[in-house]
Amino acid sequence: MSKDRVLSGMRPTGFMHLGHYHGALKNWVSLQSQHECFYFVADWHALTSHYDDPRVIEQSTFDMVTDWLAAGLDPNQCTIFLQSQVPQHAELTVLLGMITPLGWLERVPTYKEQQENLKEKDLTTYGFLGYPLMQAADIVVYRAQHVPVGEDQVSHLEITREIARRFNHIYGREPGFEEKAAAAVKKLGGKLGKRYEAMKTAYNQDGNAEALAQAKALVAAAGSLSNAEKDMLQAFLTGARKTILPEPQALLTPTSKIIGLDGRKMSKSYGNGIDLREPPAAVEQKIKRMPTDPKRARRTDPGNPDDCPVWTLHQVYSNDDTKAWVRQGCTTAGIGCLECKQPVIDAVNAELAPMQARIREIEAKPGYVKEVLAAGCVRAREAAEATMLEVRQAMGLAKV
């Protein structure tokens, strides 16, 4: 049985921090053994907003993939590759661009939001408007069923489905489909064939759902048809077309949000993160300096964990006993904040130690990350090309 396909990507932002790990990477790692996973560096997407930073993008690519491997992505279990080395992504972006209405792109919420939030960046380019279109191509070129992403990407998955649906609607007419279906109806036999046609008409002309259900049952029970013929007649009933590009679903999995050191979302641009490469002493310092419930100005003031960013770390790192100890100690001023932070410091360092050892191993093998990416690109190109063969044909692009 073939496994479901999973695809996800990240723009190359350099070193990964705990927010990336708990919000995405850890989940990617657990998916790799259950699905056929493709994970890629979205370096073209990085160019949509950072076209004037090419050197940063290149270095960030290698740093980021090193961290992916250290976090547990295994190139023997999943395919890790670089978007810009798989030209089929670009080709499909061009082709999908032919059928994507401008208004769809203008209405994607991230388009206006990013323009407002990143005033210092030039986001008035054609490439930036096309960001979600290129993302759609990234996904459908692998015919991926599942796309693990955060909440912020849900609108991009929506437009991906809309574009795929539109594509299938325009190009999904299999040549000769009607004739083949008619032949299968004939095989049903005179009486059943007539009933099938009558119910098909009742459904399509009058929207008679009962007729549809009956026709489906009739086809399912037909002894004279092969499974392929049954599938065809089921599809024929609703006028369904061939699905060239399946619609993907977002996989909003149980990822934990790690809050940044200042209580905002952990983000490189806020400088409030803990990198996977953070040395233990720096982890300790950063967490010790982290603000706590503002009502606990003095050691003797009781606090409330729900108003404290440190509590969000306990929720990720601590067991029930420790959490109970925090709640009790905080609300009664029984423990101090430094004391409260210690188990988190220890847990973060324990989590990072093996990853940092892996990073040292990987960096001791120059060229290793490049090899992993190169091998991944070969596999990715193969999978993407299989889709493109059908897409080109469906769109009337001649092969010479």
Task: Name the residue type at position 182.
Answer: A
| Contacting range for ligand SF4; rule: CB under 6 A; set: 80-88, 235-243, 300-308, 380-388 | 300-308
Q: Does 296 bind ligand TRP (CB under 6 A)?
A: no
Size of interface with ligand TRP, in residues (CB under 6 A)? 13
Q: Does 337 bind ligand SF4 (CB under 6 A)?
A: yes
Q: Does 71 bind ligand TRP (CB under 6 A)?
A: no
Residues 22-61 that bind ligand TRP (CB under 6 A): 42, 45
Q: Does 259 bind ligand SF4 (CB under 6 A)?
A: no
Cβ contacts of residue 223 below 8 Å, gap of 6+? none
Q: Does 130 bind ligand TRP (CB under 6 A)?
A: no
Which of 138, 229, 278, 293 lies at the binding interface for ligand TRP (CB under 6 A)? Answer: 138
Binding mask 201-240 for ligand TRP (x = CB under 6 A): ----------------------------------------
Q: Does 313 bind ligand SF4 (CB under 6 A)?
A: no
| Residue 26 or 296 with smaller CB distance to ligand SF4 | 296
Which of 305, 373, 380, 391 lies at the binding interface for ligand SF4 (CB under 6 A)? Answer: 305
Residues 280-299 that bind ligand SF4 (CB under 6 A): 292-293, 296
10 Å Cβ neighbour count for 11? 19
Which of 25, 136, 141, 340 lies at the binding interface for ligand SF4 (CB under 6 A)? Answer: 340
Q: Which residues bind ligand TRP (CB under 6 A)?
A: 7-11, 42, 45, 135, 138-139, 147, 149, 153
Residues of this chain that interact with ligand SF4 (CB under 6 A) are 292-293, 296, 303, 305, 308, 310-311, 326, 330, 335, 337, 340-341
